[in-house]
Amino acid sequence: MNTLAIDIGGTGLKMVVLDSAGVPVSTATRADTPQPATPDALLAALERMAADHRDFDRISCGFPGVVTEGHTRNAPNLGAGWADFALAGALGTRFGKPARVANDADVQGFGAIEGRGVELTVTLGTGVGSGLFTDGRLVPNLELGHAPFRDGASFEQLLGKPALDKRGRDAWHGALFEALAIWHALFNPRLLHLGGGHAQIIERPLPPRTRVVDNSAGLIGGVALWRNPEG
Ligand code: BGC
């Protein structure tokens, strides 16, 4: 049973085919996210990418916004048209295979967690995503990135890609370590997993119970999505 795993990001799209153990059976590819990233433009870009990925039975897709029952609710870092878009249905129709869609940080979490106690995944990329798990079960729809942080700005406004580009790495690191202290105090996770492209640029020693996960978790978690009863 092979899964076409898709990770939709504000900056890049990633794709790979995984076997049921989560081992890649195609070479992972990346393409720039179309601008503006409307549903039509994005589906067309995914279809072009899928030409390099064959022999899959089902689809898993991580999406950078709130997703309920296969419908996207918002997408702060994409174009317009996502307020109530049936993405799972659209992917299923386009590729002729059943599709499941979940928030990108939740998918990343499925690829990273150990399945014991409270685990929090935070993704640091174009936006800031979050996934909360208790004993391996997802608590859906946590949107930590948009919670107020400091100086009237949200975590995403101080830790997302525009902030990193504008304020530089030192300010970004300062904000990140302050944010980590807040998240630990708030959730007391057994483990806090940091994912997303910018987790790889952290240069300072991490606090206890915090680790950086491999960037591939955002795709590999796609297999677990099919084990999760909520889909
Ligand atoms: C969205 C989240 C998403 C995160 C990372 C945020 O702006 O609200 O749903 O997980 O970006 O893509």
128-186 per-position pLDDT tens digit: 999 999 999 999 999 999 999 999 999 999 999 999 999 999 999 999 999 999 999 99
Task: Please give the order of strands across the beta sheet that includes 3-8.
Answer: 29-32, 12-18, 3-8, 58-63, 99-103
Block residue for tokens 């109530």: 84
Is the CA virtual torsion 109, 115, 188, 74 positive or negative? positive
Low-confidence ranges of the chain (pLDDT < 50): 230-231
Closest residue by CA, ligand 1 atom 6: 127
Angle value at C-alpha 204, between 151 and 184, nearest 5 degrees: 55
Determine the residue of 77, 132, 161, 164 to mutate for testing ligand 1's pocket, defined as the one with the most ligand atoms within 8 A of the Cβ atom.
77
Identify the residues whose C-beta falls under 6 Å from ligand 1.
64-66, 76-77, 103-105, 123, 125, 127-129, 143, 145-146, 156
Cα 162 versus chain centre, distance: 18
Predicted confidence at residue 73, as pLDDT, reads: 98
Task: Give me ligand 1 centre to Cα 129, in Å.
Answer: 4
Task: Give me ligand 1 centre to Cα 63, in Å.
Answer: 8
CB 37 within 8 A of CB 81: no
Angle value at C-alpha 83, between 222 and 198, nearest 5 degrees: 45
Closest residue by CA, ligand 1 atom 8: 65
What the block records as the tokens of 47 is 């279809």
Predicted confidence at residue 228, as pLDDT, reads: 57
Block residue for tokens 């992917």: 91
State the closest ligand 1 atom to the C-alpha of 10, by its place in the atom list counted from 1: 12
What the block records as the tokens of 138 is 């997802």
Predicted confidence at residue 60, as pLDDT, reads: 97
State the closest ligand 1 atom to the C-alpha of 76, by its place in the atom list counted from 1: 7
Amino acid letter for position 7: D
Task: Give me ligand 1 centre to Cα 78, in Å.
Answer: 10
Block residue for tokens 């009237």: 152
Task: Please state, rounded to an integer, the average pLDDT across all residues of the chain.
Answer: 95
What the block records as the tokens of 220 is 């590999």
Q: Which residues contact 123 (CB under 8 A, 6 or more apart)?
A: 104, 105, 108, 129, 130, 194, 195, 196, 199, 218
Q: What Rg, from alpha-carbon coordinates, does the chain have? A: 17
